[in-house]
Structures are given as structure tokens and as C-alpha cells.
Amino acid sequence: MATRNARPVATCRAAAVLALCLLAAGGAQAGRSCESRPLTAAQIERGMQLAERTARALDAEHARSGAQVVVLARAGQDLSKYRLRYSHLGWALRTAEGPWRVVHKLNHCGTAVGQLYAQGLGEFFLDDLWRHEAAWMVPRPEVQQRLLPVLQDRVRVKALHQRAYSMVSYAWGQKYQQSNQWAAETLAGAMESGTIRTREQAQAWLRFKGYEPTTLRLGPLTRLGGRVGSAHIAFDDHPNDKRFSDRIETVTVDSVFDWLQRAQLADPVRRL
């Protein structure tokens, strides 16, 4: 679930892990509201400091364990009323040149469309974050081995991507897809690359492996206000029996983190 403004990359680097870059100057967001506010010098400095500290920590992890892929999260908005700590995640991978790049999905501000991007850590954290904190998990080596070639391939990385976007898309639906949902489904596709071809199959694998989405308690007024006022929020993909009993099941960072550790697919969460 997510929404947040992301500044466009100044240039698309030919040596980037993917031929995916920010193609337009328009805002893309995942992790907070779709507000357009210029960043202050202090916000820029704090964001870049967090990116630098995260890079050092990930480099140290690479030196220690050889890790090439981590799942990386940020806190772009206050979700404490839903008992959630983080708002958005992506797959960070170490490039052959050394720097880490984050492959993740962002929503085009003011629209119901999402797109995949590859960003540096500075771009990932350079925003008006709710809390300047990074969190990551290191997948088990066999998981990394399956994920890395998918994340490096511009065709395979988009295999389970759905452009239609809703910040609260139904975890087991295929009409919309939010950022964290793409990340989880892409993991499923990588782990069973020979058999998973559709989002429905990816979701079946996630169910089989014990993934449990977060259930948000959203009343009718909240749902109505969100749908009328925001292009990137829709509830019509949720089953009526759940939607009308105020149970919105969606993929959150916290639920993915909990599941990865429970399923023994990754090491415990680390924070900066």
C-alpha cells in the first residue's frame, strides 16, 4: 500500500541494472499522500544521510555474507493508527559497478496507474519521509539466486506487473496492484519461474507458503472519501462480504516482513 512523490532521475544510466528509469518529470509516489511540496534543504540533507548510512550497511552485509539482494523499506507516511510501521518496499540489488539500486513500483501522482522504476538509494529516500528510518531483510541465498536474474531482466521483472493501481488493492485480486503487492508476487514468480505465469498463480503460491495480508478496518465514510477524492484508491476489487464489513485486506510492508521471517525465506529485520 503506498503513495508518495518521487523526484525524477536526472539521467537514465546505460549501466543501470535495468533499462527502467523515471521517464517523466511528473510525480510518482508510493508511501505517502499525493501532495506536492518542495523539499527543504534540511529534508534533502536528512534523506541523503539516510541513503548514505543504508549504503554503508548494505555494503557491509555484502562483504560479510555476499548478499546481492535485500528487501528494503521506508516510512513515507504515518500508519500508526493501523499498527503499521512502514509504508513501501522494493527490491534492492547490488550492481556490478558496486552501487545499490532499488527496483520498485510507484504510482503516477493523481492517476490510477503504476510503473516500475530502478532508483539509487538517494532517490529512494529523497523525499519528505514521515520517519527517517530504513529497514531491510536479507533473503536466504537460494531466494537471492532466484530473484537476482529476474530483477536484472527488463522483460521478466515486468511479467507480473499490472498497471492498474490502487493503494489498497485486494491482496487476492487481479484488477489492481499496489507497490508491495507487486514485490511479493514477483518473489513468488521468481521462486517458481517454471510454473508461475499469472498473478493468480503467484497469489496461490503466496497462500500456500502461508502469507497473510493485513486487514485494515476502514468504515464506509473512509472508503467513500478515499474513492471520491483520490484516483489511486479503489475498493471495488474487494469481496462485498469483506468490504461491507469494513475489512480491507491488502499487502503491507509489515505483513511481508512478518511472513518472510515466518516462512524462513529471509533473515530478521534490520533497521537504521
Q: Where are the domains of the chain?
A: 28-267
The band of 245, judged by pLDDT with boundaries at 50, 70 and 90, is: confident
**pLDDT for residue 134:** 97
More confident residue, 33 or 270: 270
**Residue pair 147/139 in contact by the 8 Å Cβ criterion:** yes
More confident residue, 191 or 222: 191
Q: Against a cut of 0.75, is the pTM above it?
A: yes
Per-residue pLDDT for 52 more than 90? yes
- Grid cell 493501481 in the structure block, residue: 165
**Which of 65-74, 146-155, 222-231, 255-264 is least confident?**
222-231
More confident residue, 10 or 119: 119
**Which of 203-212, 231-240, 260-269 is least confident?**
231-240
Task: Tell me the average pLDDT across 96-113.
Answer: 91
**pLDDT for residue 232:** 83
Question: Which residues lie below 8 Å from residue 193, measured CB to CB, with a gap of 6+?
Answer: 146, 150, 156
More confident residue, 130 or 127: 130
Q: Which of 1-15, 20-34, 94-108, 120-134 has the highest mean pLDDT?
A: 94-108
**pLDDT for residue 195:** 95
Task: Tell me the average pLDDT across 192-197.
Answer: 94
Per-residue b or e along 12-47, where b marks 16 or more CB atoms closer than 10 Å to that residue's CB: ebeebbbebbbeeeebbbbbbebeeeeeeeebbebb
Q: What is the mean pLDDT of the chain?
A: 85
- CA-CA-CA-CA torsion for 87, 177, 219, 4, nearest 10 degrees? 40
Task: Tell me the average pLDDT across 184-211.
Answer: 97
